Chains A and B, each alone.
Chain A
């Protein structure tokens, strides 16, 4: 115990020192002791913190009552803010009425819809699926909002009582909007607390997470409860959205990004304490206001203040208690599959190269037309882009698919790799640069994961998402990585085996071929790796961490290894990403751009290397579909909505398309007797489990008891022959 306390103390001191250094280094002109500055800081900070608190509180309520972390929380708030705008500023309803309709009608309806259609199916899903579905929901809602309310028109929601003066606090005027915000935040805090601890509904909401059967015993209907949870979540999200929109503007990305703030506050609350979620929100609000009033980041770190929530999240992770190795929670997925044999993998690799090669050379007749799938320079360029994303996907297979570590950071790592490649040889066309980049990105991948290694898997997802945002706002914008004045192509063509590889129109075919060959090689490598003890250990670790530890697996080092592998692969993808983009801008790697890549891979089946190739085809399908329809305006957001909806559909098909296709096809192949056998076993097992659910009800009523049914029932009900007197005598039964 003592050692741990000291460790935390040391960490706290180190963090405090670093923060003090940063604050000191970037201190602006404003004096801290000036009462005007101080009261501005407090007024702005508390008002902002109030809004963050509401959104974080709502997020924690849904997590604590349903066990699902809703990445779409802020996006839902964003959508509802637009609905409010539509009602109040387009239909000119009175503000209060518009708000009432938005928060008391639309929000609960949305919550119940989400619960019925999606969330209820996620209760027993794996963490990977839960994360993919809610992230998919986030992208879907963002895409829909952007489609309905085109971002080309600018919209504003005015502050409440904008015309009246507000209240003088010290030497600062607190506008009515801010005062209302703080009052509302306090009311919401009290109301949530009262609801969860003082009402019957709330108590059953909390009971349901601990044990669904327990909640059933106290007479709560699980369906009503989860519906209520999601409605409540949507209402708080909407309230926060409406309150913050006047501050940030009605901009979808900004509003959806508040999820990082909410996640940081939720981490401070350890995902369960509502009061702490409010405190967390307040801390972030105050920190943001503090930096706005007092700090002046140099031009090298001009966007650093936007990364404050990310940094707070990282710090919060450092101080979270270590997760216990819990037992009794594994879910056995009913998978009928077998290991891919080396020759099959080789065949697959050849097929990938053949398909893409034939397309790139114009040998596929249907894809040589003038528009759709046209093998023009444009489509070759796009093809290279999809393959690069495919490389990012394939870097995720060992990490997410095998080791079960959900990371949203690999696109950001690739971005950093692209920037590094400029300095490490890409600028001169030196292929060795790729190796150096990979060598840097491997430990980078590890570094990002480090704070979350000892925590629950969900925190890793949060940390990596925050890192992606941090990369976009701080790392990629640092002039020593990317000179903002340089707008031209940053890379010289790579010379490999006499081919010139770059994004220039003449080199594109060679580039596509190079990409697909490396892709196929990585595919082959992973398929072979899957047959080694490394992959086995990672999968074991993901299936049951507790059992892995008890057979002597050092979970920490084995996670570290997979993060390094994945980081190195992402680094390679990054070099290609840079080469494919040619010219890079500071905003080339936004956090949201990385998410569809992860989702499309997951949709195909994140455990299978071939899924990365299917993911590439999936990526290619969106512009192709759009072209087929003649690029209508309602399809402009397809690149967001497409992966989003596909990921949401994982609530129904959690294992990924490759799995379902494989399962159904394998049984048809004449030589795959094993697949048929396994399917039979599976059906038998399902029958065994179902007896617990349905058959008990009507046993003895509609059908007579049989001996094996009784035996099965005994097993289901855990009736042991404890009191069987014959067996009391040692060996008496024998």
Chain B
């Protein structure tokens, strides 16, 4: 197995008495989609916040590209190549869809010296996620699903090395979800590392090469999709034994 580009070590996050994440270690490897699944409230979003620096962990470390980034500012992590989307939309509602992406592309100028043209990147991303038609509309006026695509394009415009996606398919219909899956595939084949939180099981099982299962803040299983589906702990804790039996 290749060296992970991003890994967390024994992350613990406590909110008062609630231990939202307990000793979670997650590895993300370049060129593949890593899944992070678990029921609501399992601590998935909190893990994302720890990785991107929005939440300080109570203990534990985050490594990126071999460096300890646990105490780095969120913006510095972004500059190193970590991008994300949010479960609850965090778009820039009073900028147009184009500007949302442009902000990111221009921001990338501050650390990426490859001499790219932000406007070109922006157009390319709009094209890729299929937003060219609505690019001039204020994002606040767009439907949720479309706004989610704006967020995705904004993250991709940073040309990240690791992309964290927090329930990207919620608000999308089946076709759009499938389109997103194939888009992701393209980027991943070019070497992007993706950490995916998702409730849509067919999406997860069809896209991820490797999956971590989180339950009550603890990683209860890791493995390939097939292994996860066969894992009895996962079945009882998360997927519901009954359902799995019916499926098999």
- A residues at B contact (CB < 8 Å): 324-325, 327-328, 330-339, 533, 536-537, 539-540, 543-544, 546-555, 607, 674, 677-678, 681-682, 684-685, 688, 711, 715, 718, 720-734
Contacts and interface: CB of A to CB of B under 8 A. Distances in A.
B34 to A, nearest CB: 16
Nearest to A715: B171
Contacts, number: 185
Contacts of B92: 539-540, 543-544, 547-548
A536 B99 contact: yes
Contacts of A727: 200-202, 205
Contacts of A324: 54-55
Contacts of B49: 327
Given A332-B91, A551-B83, A685 B75 contact: no
Nearest to A729: B247
A671 to B, nearest CB: 14
Contact of B141 (A328, A685, A724): A685
B88 A327 contact: yes
Best-buried of A327, A328, A338, A723 by chain B (most CB within 10 Å):
A327
B154 A551 contact: yes
Interface stretch (B4-12, B107-115, B183-191, B213-221): B107-115
Given A327-B54, A332-B139, A552-B78, A720 B200 contact: yes
B194 to A, nearest CB: 15
Given A681-B142, A715-B170, 9 more contacts: A327-B88, A333-B140, A335-B138, A537-B106, A544-B90, A552-B104, A722-B199, A728-B244, A730-B202
A549 B201 contact: no
B104 A551 contact: yes
A327 B106 CA distance: 23
Given A552-B158, A678-B137, A547 B86 contact: yes
Contacts of A549: 53-54, 73-75, 78
Interface in B25-54: 49, 52-54
Interface in B151-193: 151, 154-155, 158, 170-171, 173-174, 178
A539 B95 contact: yes
Contacts of A543: 91-95
A677 B136 CA distance: 11
B96 interface: yes
A729 B178 CA distance: 16
Contacts of A336: 138, 141
B138 A337 contact: yes
27 contacts: A327-B54, A327-B90, A328-B87, A330-B89, A335-B141, A533-B106, A536-B106, A539-B92, A539-B95, A540-B100, A543-B93, A543-B95, A547-B90, A547-B92, A548-B92, A549-B74, A549-B78, A550-B83, A552-B107, A554-B75, A678-B138, A681-B141, A682-B141, A685-B143, A715-B171, A730-B226, A731-B205
B144 interface: yes
B225 interface: yes
A734 B74 contact: no
B136 A328 contact: no
A550 B82 CA distance: 8
A172 to B, nearest CB: 47
A551 B136 contact: no
A4 B77 CA distance: 21
Nearest to B204: A730
A733 B203 CA distance: 9
Contacts of A730: 202, 205-206, 225-226, 229
A623 B15 CA distance: 56
Best-buried of B99, B141, B201, B225 by chain A (most CB within 10 Å):
B141
B212 interface: no
Contacts of A335: 93-94, 138, 140-141
A455 B100 CA distance: 25
A678 B139 CA distance: 10
Chain B interface: which size bin? 35 or more
A734 B151 CA distance: 26
A150 B85 CA distance: 58
Contacts of A551: 78, 83, 103-104, 107, 154-155, 158
Contacts of B53: 549
Given A550-B52, A551-B78, A536 B103 contact: yes
B240 A723 contact: yes
B13 interface: no
Contacts of A330: 88-91, 93
A721 B169 CA distance: 12
B75 A333 contact: no
Contacts of B117: none
A539 B205 contact: no
3 tightest A-B CB contacts, nearest first? A552-B78, A730-B205, A328-B88
A722 B40 CA distance: 11
Contacts of A544: 90-92
B131 interface: no
B103 A537 contact: yes
Contacts of A339: 96
A552 B108 contact: yes
Contact of B229 (A334, A711, A728, A731): A728
A391 B173 CA distance: 50
A325 B74 contact: yes
Contacts of B90: 327-328, 330, 544, 546-547
B136 A674 contact: yes
B132 to A, nearest CB: 14
A265 B232 CA distance: 57
A733 B202 CA distance: 7
Given A328-B88, A335-B138, A728 B106 contact: no
A539 B94 CA distance: 7
Contacts of B129: none
B201 A721 contact: yes
Contacts of B154: 547, 551
A335 B240 CA distance: 44
Contacts of A681: 134, 137, 141-143
A536 B111 contact: no
A676 to B, nearest CB: 12
A685 B200 CA distance: 24
Nearest to B244: A728
A607 B140 CA distance: 15
A60 to B, nearest CB: 21
B158 A334 contact: no
B102 interface: yes
A539 B137 CA distance: 15
Given A330-B89, A539-B92, A543-B92, A550 B78 contact: yes
B2 interface: no
B54 A546 contact: yes
A723 B87 CA distance: 20
Interface in B216-248: 225-226, 229, 239-240, 243-244, 246-247
Best-buried of A338, A544, A550 by chain B (most CB within 10 Å):
A550
Contacts of A720: 170, 199-200
Contacts of A674: 136
Nearest to B52: A550
B246 A734 contact: no
Contacts of A553: 75, 103, 107
Contacts of A333: 93-94, 140
Contacts of A332: 89, 91, 93, 139-140, 147
A653 B54 CA distance: 33
Best-buried of A334, A543, A674 by chain B (most CB within 10 Å):
A543
A554 B83 CA distance: 15
Contacts of B139: 332
B23 interface: no
A658 to B, nearest CB: 14
Given A332-B139, A335-B138, A723-B240, A536 B95 contact: yes
Contacts of B61: none
A682 B138 CA distance: 10
A729 B111 CA distance: 43
Contacts of A725: 243, 246-247
